[in-house]
């Protein structure tokens, strides 16, 4: 129903011009296949009747136009033209999805429709505009006979005033012809140029990867900024407490606070740059090789960290090393939050087949936590990272109830 009503709406000059340009490009694109089809039709036997020659010409032209829709660039160009001149808002082809026969056929069908509709629109508007100009011009020159499909007498004087409303009607006809063709192509574009099943699946997978990437960045920000805020709060408290009694120690705490905040700004800039899909000049993601810097930051808060690294962290795959660093960072952050600056024991063991992480901090004088308590976001993030790496993780008080223990085991190679 909309397709029938829309052509009778007054077209705007911008839409009319863009639609006419789109149609003109379609008509021009069909000239080369038409010329090739004419050469083929010229080889037909001379005794063929005119209808047979015409049918052969149209058949060859349609086949050539359909074939022109097979290359991937033809579909991309058609989508760009439709979006730019018709305002269809079609999604771009998915590069990861290989075009199938059905997609090529749909693109070829669009080219046929575009050429036919564009050729008809070009012919109708050219005839209507030419006649709309010719009628008043002949009348103003005193009248004469012109041919529009058939001979037509245009009288001069008052009896020829009918040429003015006739010219206006022809101009309106040209505008509505553009609106009708625009409505037809806009309705056909999603069917013929929209995503097919393979592209829909590829687009959905791409969207899921983007969502996973953003969720991953959110986790990165939680770990990094959470650690920084915890360390900064403790260092600020230490500086305030020592400001009068030990100014040198207070200055060291403030210096550590400045360094931690600067590192957090680098992490934040890196994450936001990725979210904006921009290239950033920040440092690469931190790995197990940066554990000594992380431990020093924690020590500046007044919490002693006993780090024991066995094996070569440089031999850990880059992805696992980055995730392991974030796991240790979050574990130390939790120790700072809940350990009352008690000494923290960090143990990292690297073997050819396994990476083991262990973080322990005493539960001095506190009631033993219940194992059924709700997990915080930090511990949930740790467990999610470990699960993605096909590892195992345990968190909770040790059997004696003297310390809180986080243990992570991540395989470095698949079992044979």
Using one digit for the tens of pLDDT, what is the confidence trace for 342-366? 788 999 999 988 999 999 988 765 4
Of residues 301 and 157, the one with the higher pLDDT is 157
pLDDT band at 229 (very low <50, low <70, confident <90, very high): low
Q: Which residue from 116, 115, 105 is spatially nearest to 192, judged by alpha carbons?
A: 105
- DSSP-H helix ranges across 141-246: 163-193, 197-242
| pLDDT value of position 5 | 42
pLDDT band at 99 (very low <50, low <70, confident <90, very high): low
Cβ neighbors of 185 (< 8 A, separation 6 or more) are 22, 82, 86, 113, 114, 117
Of residues 371 and 414, the one with the higher pLDDT is 414
Most confident stretch, 6-10, 53-57, 246-250: 53-57
What is the C-alpha end-to-end distance of the chain, expressed in Å?
A: 65
Q: Which residue from 222, 380, 414 is spatially nearest to 406, judged by alpha carbons?
A: 380
Q: Note the pLDDT tens digit of each residue in 163-176.
A: 899 999 998 888 88
Rounded to an integer, the average pLDDT of 305-313 is 89
Question: Which token pair is 25?
Answer: 């490009």
Give yes or no for residue 306 having a pLDDT over 80.
yes
Question: Which token pair is 270?
Answer: 């890196």
Residues of the chain with CATH 3.30.565.10: 203-411
Residues, the chain: 416
**Overall fold of domain 203-411:** Heat Shock Protein 90 (3.30.565)
């Amino acid at each position: 129903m909309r397709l029938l009503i829309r052509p009778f709406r007054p077209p705007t000059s911008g839409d009319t011009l863009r639609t006419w340009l789109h149609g003109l490009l379609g008509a021009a694109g069909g000239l080369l296949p038409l010329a090739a089809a004419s050469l083929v039709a010229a080889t037909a036997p001379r005794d063929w009747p005119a209808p047979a020659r015409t049918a052969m010409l149209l058949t060859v032209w349609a086949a050539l136009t359909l074939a022109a829709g097979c290359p991937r660039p033809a579909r991309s160009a058609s989508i760009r033209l439709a979006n730019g001149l018709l305002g269809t808002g079609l999604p771009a082809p998915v590069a990861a999805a290989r075009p199938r026969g059905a997609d090529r056929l749909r693109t070829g069908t669009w080219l046929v429709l575009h050429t036919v509709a564009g050729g008809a629109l070009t012919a109708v508007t050219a005839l209507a505009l030419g006649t709309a100009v010719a009628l008043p011009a002949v009348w103003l020159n005193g009248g004469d006979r012109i041919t529009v499909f058939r001979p037509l007498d245009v009288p001069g004087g008052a009896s020829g005033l009918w040429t003015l409303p006739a010219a206006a009607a022809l101009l309106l006809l040209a505008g509505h012809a553009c609106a009708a063709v625009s409505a037809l192509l806009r309705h056909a574009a999603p069917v013929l140029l929209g995503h097919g099943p393979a592209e829909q699946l590829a687009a959905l997978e791409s969207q899921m990867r983007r969502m996973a990437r953003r969720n991953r960045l959110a986790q990165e920000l939680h770990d990094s900024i959470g650690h920084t805020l915890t360390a900064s709060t403790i260092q600020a408290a230490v500086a305030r407490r020592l400001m009068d009694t030990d100014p040198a120690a207070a200055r060291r705490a403030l210096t550590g606070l400045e360094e931690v905040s600067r590192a957090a700004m680098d992490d934040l800039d890196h994450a936001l740059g990725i979210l904006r899909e921009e290239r950033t000049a920040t440092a690469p993601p931190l790995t197990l090789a940066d554990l000594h810097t992380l431990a020093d930051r924690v020590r500046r808060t007044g919490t002693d960290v006993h780090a024991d690294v066995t094996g070569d962290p440089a031999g850990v795959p880059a992805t696992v090393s980055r995730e392991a660093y974030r796991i240790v960072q979050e574990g130390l952050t939790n120790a700072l939050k809940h350990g009352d600056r008690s000494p923290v024991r960090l143990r990292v063991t690297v073997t050819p087949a396994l990476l083991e992480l262990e973080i322990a901090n005493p539960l001095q004088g506190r009631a033993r936590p219940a194992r059924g308590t709700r997990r915080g976001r930090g511990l949930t993030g740790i467990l999610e990272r470990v699960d993605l790496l096909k590892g195992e993780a345990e968190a909770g008080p040790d059997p004696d109830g003297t310390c809180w223990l986080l243990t992570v085991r991540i395989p470095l190679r698949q079992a044979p």
